[in-house]
Structures are given as structure tokens and as C-alpha cells.
Chain A
Amino acid sequence: MIELLQFSLCLLAFNCFALAKFNHYRDVFKTRPSQQQSQWFLISAWISILLSLLLCIVEHQGYGGLLFCGYMALSVLLLMIFYSFKAAWVKYMSAVNVILLVISGSYIAIY
């Protein structure tokens, strides 16, 4: 479950990085992002990616660094596919991502 949390955070981070960009935001929401929105996406992205890295390192030490690199590659690949071929699905993908994040986070917090 911790691996799911680490990956969800990484995916969320890169999704926020993508949405902070004008063209990707427009592809998904059909409007321009405001300056403030872009900044919030960037801040969320950095927090999320650092949390993912932190969790990887705390849980697996050096091995976690390798996992984190793998998560980054998988996240960028998934997002590239969505943004290039199915931009309309990004909203649903983001929702699934956040749900997985909450479920895995809650599971770890409870157990």
C-alpha cells in the first residue's frame, strides 16, 4: 500500500506540473489558467513530489531512490499518453489519482 501512496503522490505531482502550463490546462478545462492557479499547481506539485521522494527514502533508503526514478518515468509516460491522446480524460484520471491517494494514505494511517 505504501508503494501505491508513493506512486499516487508522484503522479499527482507531475499532473500538477502539467496543469500549471497554459497549453495543457487549456486542453483539459478549455479555459486559460490564471497566474494564481498556475502558481498553486506548481506549489502543490513540488510538495507532492517531495513527499513522494521522502516516503520512498524513509521506507526503502537507497532502494527507494531507484523506485522514485521508476515512478517518475511511469507518471510522465501515463500523463504524456493522456494529454496527447485523451486530454478530456485527464479530469477522471486526476479524480482516480486523488481517490487512490486518499485510500492508500488512510489505510496506512489506520493500520
Chain B
Amino acid sequence: MKESFFRSMTWMHTWVGLLVCWLLYLVFFAGTISFFRDEVTLWNQPALHSLQAPQERIALQREQIIAGVDYLKATAPESGRWGIYLPTEREPQLNYAFEKPRPEGRRFGGWQDYYINPKTGESLQQPRETKGGNFFYRLHFDLHYIDVRTARWIVCFASLFMLVALISGVVIHKRIFKDMFSFRKNKGSRSWLDGHNVSSVLALPFHIMITYTGLITLIFMLFPYPAMTAYDDGIRGFFNDVTPTNVRTKSSDVPAPLTAIDNVLDQIYTNWPNADLTRFSIKDPNKASATITVRASTGTLVRDQTPTMLFNGVDGSLIAKSVDEYSSTEVFYDSLTALHTGRLANPLLRWLYFLCGVAGCIMIATGCIMWAKRIRERMKKDQKASFGLKLVEGLNLATLMGLPLATCAFFIANRLLPVGITQRADKEILAFFITWLAVALFSLFKRAKMQWYLLAWVNAVACVSVPLINALTTKGSIVSYLLNSQWALFSFDLVCLVCALLFVLQAKKLRTQLNSPAANTRSNRVNKNSLVEQKG
């Protein structure tokens, strides 16, 4: 009974993991990068590199809002929306934005941004068009080129599989504490298993938390039925009920003067004396239906819903305010969402999240490599690889080596594409997918050690190219970032160089294996088999 239980759990762990491992790798990879979403976006916009948030950032917010409203009144009085995005520690620029005229048949015309140096108040050069870190953020749960809702369902199913794989993995790992610090190098499959175990165990609380909370963030899409039953207007009614500031007003064409902003600001600072405001937006300015929405930062509170106030834009009265005291259910849902997004994290915790994310990527990568390696080892001398094995090996190579290369291509395209080119942001994304497709096609034909070796070198060169091309095409470089204490930019370049070093080590290791004399060992026989197959 006991043996059959462990066998069935092992079987489940293997297949549940293998079926979705490539998608999970993409989700983890993009999710890990998006912990530094704002920093990646900053790197992608060299025009903003020299900016630093002022020391007295919060004290300046009142003046910045008043100046912003004055600017928007003068620049875009006819616009349907105004937004004032205040500088934060991670996004140092001050941004006054307004909605451009809506094209025929569209609900939104897109934003026109006007960036300002928060220290000097001078206007900045318009940064290049890029999605930056937002691309990876969206990619990790919306995927790309497919319907958002379908993508989220697919990602949720993969997450559910991951949760099952994690729990069954804990059950089948009999020596979970004994082998906690063990990594036996140069032992073939044993080393891969150790790598899989160590990367799983060292961040196990994170892996379980991030997978479970990932499902929770989309729980109302997965399971909307209680809200649909309780509310006449379904899930929208539910959200309006729990978020009082979600009030939607019907737009009016009747002109009406905007309320005095000082009056609104007085109310904000009376309610929240030490507020760190992040956004001040006005819908339908200079119209009878005008509303003002103000959002504040949650700081390091384990809370995802930002404190929000909604004002009438004509008389300045407070229409709605986010609740200060949540019910226990709301606290549970909101804190789980906060844990997943990691928006609360200061730099130390953000790096720890990143480390755990990398551990997750290694766990998935070692898992899928190990499956193919074990099948190869079990094969008889003259046996040909099955279609399934070839498929898994191809997908392994395409995903594990293709994604880092595609990411480098995205950043290189950011620096090399002409700044004024139309739909520039989409072209960066296209560079990402074309590179990935090229690696996938390459893997379709050959997927032996030699191809891993070649791609390791290509990846190493690509990783070095990112900071190098940055230094050649912008005023900054890794050295200047270090000297000027621009830690976000310095860390970005440093991570690229560390990745390059790791790919060089991987290539050297593979070179040693390719050059080793073909002794009659089991693992060498496997290598020979794969070579024979290729030649065939």
C-alpha cells in the first residue's frame, strides 16, 4: 500500500509537472523579471536615466499636483482625462498626462505624456516608446498574441498543476531535510535531481505561496458564481460593493468649472496627514460630470488595494473613500494578492523575491531536463528515441535557452531601433518573439549537446551585448552607474554580466563533456546514442 502510494504520487508529480513545465517556466521567468518591472522600464528609457527622486519627495507633492493641474488646464482643456503621476523611489519622473482625442469607434485615445524633472521642474526629453517591464508583467499571466481571458485560464490551469506538483513533490521527497544542503556535482542524473531538490526546497515557502496566491488573484475569474448569484449585475456589482471608489459616472457635455484643487488637497491631507500620494487623476475635466480620483501608496503594508478617494470635480465634495477597516475576508484576499505582486517590497525584499523566482526557474528547468535524461539513460544501446522524447528535448532546448536569448533581443532592440519609428514598443516585442521562434526552429531539427553548447555561447554573447550596446548608444555605462549610485541601472547591467558568466560556465562544461573520451559508461553511451541519432 505504502509503496503503491509513493509510486502513484511520483507518477503524478512527474506527469503533472512535465505537461506544463515549459509554460510554467515562461510564467516564472517573466514573473521573476517583473518583480523589477519599474526598474526594467527605467532602463528601457535612457532619457530618464539621470533622474533621481528628490529627498523631500512627499513634501513636494502638493505643489506638483497644483502645477500639474495648471499645466493640463492650459495644454489640454478639451481632453477627457488628465493624470498626474507623482514620482516614487522606483519611478523618479513626474508625469503630467492627458488622453489624446479618441479615434472613431474607440473607447480610449491613449495617453500623451509630459515628463518633468521633479528636482528642477524642467521638462524632459520625451522618452522612447517602450513597454519595458510591463511587457514581462503582462506576459507572465496574459501571455501574448492570444485572447487575455483564454490566456489567464491557461495560466491558471498551469498554476493548479504546479500546486499539485509541489505538494506531491514534498510527499515523495523522503529525505527533504536530510538532503537540504546536498548537491552532488558531476554525478549525472543524481546531480540534476539534487539541483531540482535544492532549488525546490530552498524556496519552498515562496513556491507554494506564489503559486497559491497566483490562483487567488484570479479567483473571481475562475469562480465567479457566488458573486453572480448574490448580485443582480454579477461580478461588477460585487466589485462596486467592495470598492466604493469604483463609482462610474455618466459623462456629460455640459461645461462646468473645475473645483479649486486646494480645497480637494485640504480634504486629502485632513484624512491622510502623512499620505504618500502616487496618482491624481481627473475624469471629464471642465464638465458637469467631472470626478477627481486620488491614490496613495500602501508602503510596506501587506495590502494591495491602494487607499483611494473620489471627489466631485465641480463642487469638490467627497463622493467615496476606500475603507480603512477591512473585513477578515477582504484582508485575506487583499494580503494574498499583495504577497503575489510584491509591490510592497523594499529593495532587500525585492531581491529576495527575485532570488526565489530564479530558484523556481531552476526547479522547473532541472525537472524537465531530468525527465528526458532519465529516459535516455534507460534506452538500450541501439534503441531509437521516441517522438515524445524528441519533443520534450526540443521543447527543453527551445524554452530554456530560447527565453533568455529572446529577452536579450528585446533589450538590444530597445537600444538599436530608431527612436522615432512608429509602433516602436510593438517592434521590441516582435524582436523577442522572432528570436524565440528562431531558437524553436533550430531546436526542431537538432537538440543534442552540441546545440546546447552553441546556444550557451550565443546566450553569453547576447547577455554581454546588452550592457555593451547600452554603453555605446547612451551616455551611461555600468561604470558610470556605479560611480553615480544609480543602483537600479547598475544592477540591471550587472545581472546581464552575471548571466553571461553563467552561460560561459555552462558552455565550458558542455565542451568538456563533448570532448571527453567515449568510455563505455552508461552516461557516455547515452551521449553516443544521441550523436548516432543525429547523424542518422
Residues 55-84 (chain A) with a chain B CB within 8 angstroms: 60-63, 66-67, 69-74, 76-77, 79-80, 83-84
The reply to whether B335 and A83 form a contact with Cβ atoms under 8 Å apart is no
User: Which single member of A23, A62, A67 contacts B335 (CB below 8 Å)?
Assistant: A62
Complexed CA–CA distance, A23 and B205 (Å): 26
* Nearest-Cβ distance from residue B505 to partner chain A, whole angstroms: 13
The reply to whether B353 and A70 form a contact with Cβ atoms under 8 Å apart is yes
Taking CB atoms, residues of chain B closer than 8 Å to A14 are: 181
The reply to whether B178 and A73 form a contact with Cβ atoms under 8 Å apart is no
Total interface residues in chain B, CB < 8 Å = 28
User: Which single member of A66, A77, A83, A84 contacts B349 (CB below 8 Å)?
Assistant: A66
The reply to whether A69 and B178 form a contact with Cβ atoms under 8 Å apart is no
B268 within 8 A of A: no
Taking CB atoms, residues of chain A closer than 8 Å to B408 are: none
Q: Is the interface of A mostly helix, strand, loop or mixed?
A: helix
The reply to whether B202 and A70 form a contact with Cβ atoms under 8 Å apart is no
Contacts A63-B302, A74-B355 known; A80 to B206 CB distance under 8 Å? no
In the complex, residue of chain A having the shortest beta-carbon distance to the beta carbon of B198: A80
In the complex, residue of chain B having the shortest beta-carbon distance to the beta carbon of A79: B181
User: Which single member of A60, A71, A79 contacts B352 (CB below 8 Å)?
Assistant: A71
Taking CB atoms, residues of chain A closer than 8 Å to B475 are: none
Contacts A63-B344, A77-B355 known; A70 to B198 CB distance under 8 Å? no
Taking CB atoms, residues of chain A closer than 8 Å to B344 are: 63
Complexed CA–CA distance, A91 and B425 (Å): 52
B180 within 8 A of A: yes
Contacts A60-B300, A63-B344, A76-B201 known; A70 to B352 CB distance under 8 Å? yes
The reply to whether B181 and A24 form a contact with Cβ atoms under 8 Å apart is yes
Interface 1/0 per residue, B346-385 and A, CB below 8 Å: 0011001101100100000000000000000000000000
Those 9 A-B pairs whose CB atoms lie nearest each other, nearest first: A70-B352, A76-B202, A84-B183, A62-B302, A73-B203, A69-B205, A83-B181, A63-B300, A80-B181
Binding site for B on A (CB under 8 A): 3, 14, 17-18, 21, 23-24, 60-63, 66-67, 69-74, 76-77, 79-80, 83-85
What are 18 A-to-B residue pairs whose CB atoms are below 8 Å? A3-B348, A14-B181, A62-B302, A63-B302, A63-B344, A63-B349, A66-B345, A69-B209, A70-B206, A70-B348, A70-B349, A74-B355, A80-B183, A80-B198, A83-B181, A84-B181, A84-B183, A85-B185
